[in-house]
Amino acid sequence: MRALRDPKMLDPQSPCRRSAIRALLRMSLAGVALPRFLAAPAQAQVYAGSDENGTIVLSNDRTAETPDLLVEAPPPSPVLALPDAPLAMPIRPPSPEALAPRARQFAPIVRRVAREVAVSPRLLHAVITVESGYDPRAVSPKGAKGLMQLMPDTAQRFGAWNLFDPQQNVRAGGRYLRWLLDDFRGDVRLALAAYNAGEDAVLRYGRRIPPFPETIDYVPRVLANMGSFRG
């Protein structure tokens, strides 16, 4: 910026000085690039004035040379206080023993479906234990629902329309497991991997358990609940 050496600029009440400062303000509001020495943090105040030579001076602080506020900083954003308490640790799923009363509640449905679809009731119980903890109203973040956590498309494919109906849900889940066992030649491990990750994922990895952390954890958990570690 070129220095303005008009003596009238030395007078704080001079109309010339005030006009020049107002011109700077109009430039800043219009987004016109000002010299590098004007650059300041977005939250800073900018004051204007003139020195003894009549040169316009800009500063982040109010001084004798820069008494006029050119740009006012916006008020600071409120700071949200964080709670002093530590973050809660993830809740471990209930043990099979803790779920025993719920398992007994749904045992008649599980036995009936197991006979219909020729799947071990222990396998159905194990899947329900891991999938929903016997909560017929359970809904996963991905949209799987009910005791056996079926996605709507899969449920309809195997004859369930009301996923919160325990009988429909277990029957569709049992039929799906039967279909997977047939597709993977009775290999329970692969059937469970497909139940968790989808049959396409198992096929894509050469009929092996996909290397997904969730699936790698899921299969042995179900087998452990089933009481069988089939090789």
- Residue 106 token pair: 């749904």
Q: What is the pLDDT of residues 141-195, one digit of tens each?
A: 999 999 999 999 999 999 999 999 999 999 999 999 999 999 999 999 999 999 9
- Top-confidence residue, 70 or 105: 105
Four-point Cα dihedral 70, 72, 73, 74, nearest 10: -150
What is the second-level CATH architecture of the domain 100-226?
Answer: Orthogonal Bundle (1.10)
Q: What is the pLDDT of residue 85?
A: 35
Would you say residue 56 has pLDDT above 60? Answer: yes
77 CB contacts (<8 Å, ≥6 apart)? Answer: none
Residues 231, 227: Cα–Cα separation, whole Å:
13
The token duo for 195 is 């139940």
pLDDT tens across 82-106, in order? 334 333 333 455 666 778 889 999 9
pLDDT of the residue at 66: 76
What are 13-48's pLDDT values in tens digits?
Answer: 566 555 665 665 555 444 444 444 444 444 566 777
| Residue ranges covered by each domain of the chain | 7-71, 100-226
**C-beta separation of 66 from 17 below 8 A:** no
Beta strands in the chain (DSSP E): 46-50, 56-59, 68-71
Active-site positions? 131
> Per the structure block, which two tokens stand in for 131?
């999938």
* pTM of the model as a whole: 0.59
The closest of 25, 20, 26 to 54, measured between CA atoms, is: 20
